[in-house]
Structure 1
Amino acid sequence: MKLQITYDHPIPINAFEWTPATYRQPPHTHASLEIGLCLSGKGDFFFGNKRYAAGPGDLFLVNNEERHIAQSDPLDPSRYLFINFDAAILLAEEPGLLLPFSYRSTRFRNHIAGESELARQLTPWVLAIAEELREKSPGYLAMAKSALIQLCGRLLRHYNGMLSDDERRTMVQSVHQVQSLAVLVEKRFREPINLGELADELGLSVSRVSRAFLETTGYRFSDYVSLLRIQAAKQDLSGTVKPIAEIAFECGFQSLPTFYRVFKETTGMSPTVYRQSMGILAASKK
C-alpha cells in the first residue's frame, strides 16, 4: 500500500505523533522520507523482512522504497513522533544529504538505538522541528527547514563512513545525476518540458536518469515537475491576489482542469479553499 502524503505547511514538512496498533497492520510505503522517534512505550518496527525492537529514545530511518509498519506492545503501547518530509527540500539545498536515504534495504540498519551518541545528536533536532511547526512563531518555516538540514547532515556524516568505496561512488554518481536534472527542472518547470529533452541535454540515457531520480527522490519525473508547479502556485495563492487561472498557467499547467485536479491531489483541498485558508480573499476585498 502506498500512502499519499499531504502537508499542513507552505513547505513540505510534517510532524505528527502516532500510536501503532497492538496487532501487525499491512505495511506501506510513501514517496516522502521519514524519521521516527519513539517517545514512550515498547513495540516492534518492521521494514520488509527486518524486525527491530523499539523503546523510548530509539530512532528509525524510512526511505521512499521500503515497506514498513510499527506495532505496539499490548501491555505498554509505543508512541512515536514522526518527521515526514519531501526529498525536494534536500535536493534543492544539498543533494548529498539524500545519501542516507538511498540505502539498499536488505543491508541497511534502519534502527538507531536511543542510548547511542548518534541518537543523542539527532533527537534535539527532531524535537525542534516538531516545536517550530507546532508553535508557528515568526520565522518558523526557516527554523524548521534549518533543523531538518542539521538533522540530515548528521545522518550523512554517520552513514557515509559505513559505505564501501564502490557503494559510495555509485550512490554519489546517482545523486549528482539527479541534481543536474533537478537544476534544469527548477529553471524550466514553468515551461512545457519532457524528460527526453533534458536527458539529451545532460548527455544521459532516459532510462538511467529516470531510475536514479525515482530511487533518490521517490518521485517519477512528471510527478516532480507537478510538485514544483504546485509549490509555486501555493506561494502565489498565499502571497498575491492574482486570479487562479493566471496562476495556473504561469506555473506551467496547460489546462485549468489539470491544475485543479493535481492541486487537490497534492494538498487535499482546492486552490480556492487553500487561498481562503491563507486569508487572502478576505484581504483582497478590503
Structure 2
Amino acid sequence: MKLHITYDHPIPINAFEWTPATYQQTPHMHASLEIGLCLSGKGTFSFGNKRYAASPGDLFLVNHEERHVAQSDSDDPSRYLFINFDAAMLLAEEPGLLLPFSYRSTHFCNHIAGGSALAQQLTPWILTIADELKEKSPGYLAMAKSALIQLCGRLLRHYNGLLTEDERLIMVKSVHQVQSLATLVEQRHREPIGLGELADELGLSVSRVSRAFLETTGYRFSDYVSLLRVQSAKRDLTGTDKAVATIAFECGFQSLPTFYRVFKEFVGVSPIVYRQSIGSAQ
C-alpha cells in the first residue's frame, strides 16, 4: 500500500505522534522520507523482511522504497514522534543530504539504538522540528527547515563513513545526475518539457536518469514536474490576484481539469479553497 502524504505547513515537513496497533497491520510506503523516534513503550518496527525491537530513544529511518510498519507491545504500547518530509526540499537545498536515504534495503540497518552517540546527536533536532511546527512562533518555518538540515547533515556524516569508496562514488554520481536534472526542471517547469529532451541535454540515457531520479527523490519525473508547478501555483494563488485559470496555464498546466485534479492530489484541497483558506488565515 502506498500512502499519499499532504503537508500541514507551507514547507513540506510534518511532525506527529502516533501509537501503532498491537496487531500486525498492512505494511505501507510513501514518497516522503521519514524519521521515527520511539518516545515510550515497546514494540517492533518492520521493513520488508527486517524486524527490529523498539524501545524508548530508538530511531528508525524510512525511505521511499521500503514497505514498513510498526507494531506495539500489547502490555506496553509504544508511542512515536515521526518527522515526515519531502525529498525535493533537500534536493533543492543540498542534494548530498539525500545520501543517507538512498540506501539499498537489504544492506541497510534502519534502526539507530537509543542512547547511542548518533541517537543523542539526532534526537534534539527531531524534538526541535516538532516544537517549531507546533508552536508556530515567528520564524518557525525557517527554524524547522534549519533543524531538519542539521538532522540530515549529521546523518550524512555518519553514514558516509560506513560506505565503501565504490558505493560512495556510485551514490554521489547518481545524486549529481539527479541534481542536474532537477535544476533544469526548476528552470523550465512552467514550459512544456519532457524527460527525453532534458536527458539528451545532460548526455544521459532516459532509462538511467529516470531510475536515478525515482530512487533518489521518490518521485517519477512527471510527478516531480507536477509538484513544482503546484508549488508555483500556490505562490501565485496567495501572492497575486490573478485568475485561477491564468495561474494554471502560466504554471505549465495544459488544461483546467488537469490543474484542479493535480493540485488537489498534492495539496488536499482545490485551488479556490486553498486561496480562500490562506487569505482568511492572514
Please give the range of the TM-score, normalised by the shorter of the 2 chains: over 0.9
Q: What is the identity, as a one-letter code, of the residue corresponding to 1:199?
A: A
Q: 1-side partners of 2:173 and 2:229: how far apart? A: 27
Q: In the alignment, which residue of structure 2 is the partner of 1:97? A: 97
Q: In the alignment, which residue of structure 1 is the partner of 2:223? A: 223
Q: In the alignment, which residue of structure 2 is the partner of 1:171? A: 171
Matches within 5 A, 1:132-147: 132-147=132-147
Q: 1-side partners of 2:145 and 2:168: how far apart? A: 26
Q: Which moved more, 1:40-49 or 1:247-256?
A: 247-256
Q: 1-side partners of 2:204 and 2:243: how far apart? A: 39
Q: 2-side partners of 1:250 and 1:20: how far apart? A: 44
Q: In the alignment, which residue of structure 1 is the partner of 2:187? A: 187
How far did 1:219 drift?
A: 0.4
How far did 1:137 drift?
A: 1.3
Q: 1-side partners of 2:241 and 2:82: how far apart? A: 35
Unpaired runs of at least 5, structure 1:
none
Q: In the alignment, which residue of structure 1 is the partner of 2:56? A: 56
Q: 1-side partners of 2:126 and 2:238: how far apart? A: 27
Matches within 5 A, 1:14-33: 14-33=14-33
Q: 2-side partners of 1:249 and 1:130: how far apart? A: 37
* SS of match in other structure, 1:173: helix
Matches within 5 A, 1:200-211: 200-211=200-211
Is 1:250 aligned to residue 229 of structure 2?
no
Write out per-residue CA displacement over residues 9-67 of structure 1, whole angstroms, 9 at most, x where no aligned residue. 11111111110000110100101100000111100000010011101111000000001
Write out per-residue CA displacement over residues 105-134 of structure 1, whole angstroms, 9 at most, x where no aligned residue. 011000001110111110111011111111
Q: How many residues align?
A: 282
TM-score normalised per structure 1:
0.97
How far did 1:90 drift?
A: 0.5
Q: In the alignment, which residue of structure 2 is the partner of 1:2? A: 2
Q: 1-side partners of 2:200 and 2:167: how far apart? A: 26
Is 1:131 aligned to residue 131 of structure 2?
yes
Q: In the alignment, which residue of structure 1 is the partner of 2:67? A: 67
Q: 1-side partners of 2:92 and 2:131: how far apart? A: 24
Q: In the alignment, which residue of structure 1 is the partner of 2:199? A: 199
Q: 2-side partners of 1:139 and 1:235: how far apart? A: 18
Q: In the alignment, which residue of structure 2 is the partner of 1:36? A: 36
Q: 2-side partners of 1:279 and 1:18: how far apart? A: 31
Q: 1-side partners of 2:81 and 2:222: how far apart? A: 31
Runs of 4+ in structure 1 displaced over 3 angstroms?
Answer: none
Q: In the alignment, which residue of structure 2 is the partner of 1:117? A: 117
* SS of match in other structure, 2:107: coil
How far did 1:237 drift?
A: 1.6
Q: What is the identity, as a one-letter code, of the residue corresponding to 2:52?
A: Y
How far did 1:232 drift?
A: 1.2
Q: 2-side partners of 1:123 and 1:254: how far apart? A: 45
Q: 1-side partners of 2:241 and 2:123: how far apart? A: 40
Q: 1-side partners of 2:125 and 2:234: how far apart? A: 27
Write out per-residue CA displacement over residues 122-160 of structure 1, whole angstroms, 9 at most, x where no aligned residue. 011101111111111111111111111000000000000
* SS of match in other structure, 1:278: helix
How far did 1:203 drift?
A: 0.3
How far did 1:240 drift?
A: 2.4
How far did 1:250 drift?
A: 1.5
How far did 1:236 drift?
A: 1.7
Q: Percent identity?
A: 84
Q: What is the identity, as a one-letter code, of the residue corresponding to 2:279?
A: G
How far did 1:239 drift?
A: 2.3
Q: Which moved more, 1:99-108 or 1:235-244?
A: 235-244
Q: 1-side partners of 2:44 and 2:273: how far apart? A: 40
Write out per-residue CA displacement over residues 63-99 of structure 1, whole angstroms, 9 at most, x where no aligned residue. 0000100000001100001010000011000000000
